[in-house]
Structure 1
């Protein structure tokens, strides 16, 4: 594999901040750039989230959010559990009724 050199101009603040992030994960900018290109080639896609996420919750989620708001407004009178296992046991016992 022949090596090629890539030169690009970026804002010095951007380079400094990006370097800090890369170093936090144990990389340098060259390694991150190589990984980016490898992932792009492997997935045949540009690995960036370029979209605007404006997802609207479905009706069931909206109803659950309203129910949670009502419980909070009443001072949190909903059930509480000390563990996930306790919560699941309660849910299963309610389902049996």
Structure 2
């Protein structure tokens, strides 16, 4: 099997950040790139998602509850955010 060299240009910060992630998993960027290409070939897809993360059903329900509470004009259990944080830390 012959091999080829691929040269890509990326911003220094992007490379540094990617290297940190790869290092966390015990890999180098060359290994990650080869794995990415293998995944593309094996699945016949580009293994990326460009869609924004969707909130879970539980999160959507909490958002609805919060919106409904704010719309109701009712007073909450805390007078301000600092009191809420103090209670949460107790």
Give the TM-score band, short-chain normalised: 0.5 to 0.7
TM-score, length of structure 1 as denominator length? 0.56
Gaps in structure 2 of 5+ consecutive residues = 66-76, 78-90
From the superposition, tell whether residues 41 and 15 of structure 1 become closer, same or farther in structure 2 (CA, over 3 Å): same
Query: Matches of residues 1-97 of structure 1 in structure 2 within 5 Å?
Result: 1-53=1-53, 65=61, 69=65
From the superposition, tell whether residues 45 and 19 of structure 1 become closer, same or farther in structure 2 (CA, over 3 Å): same
Gaps in structure 1 of 5+ consecutive residues = 70-74, 76-97
TM-score, length of structure 2 as denominator length? 0.60
User: Which has more radius of gyration?
Assistant: 1
DSSP 3-state at the match of 2:40:
helix
* Alpha-carbon distance, 1:45 to partner: 0.3
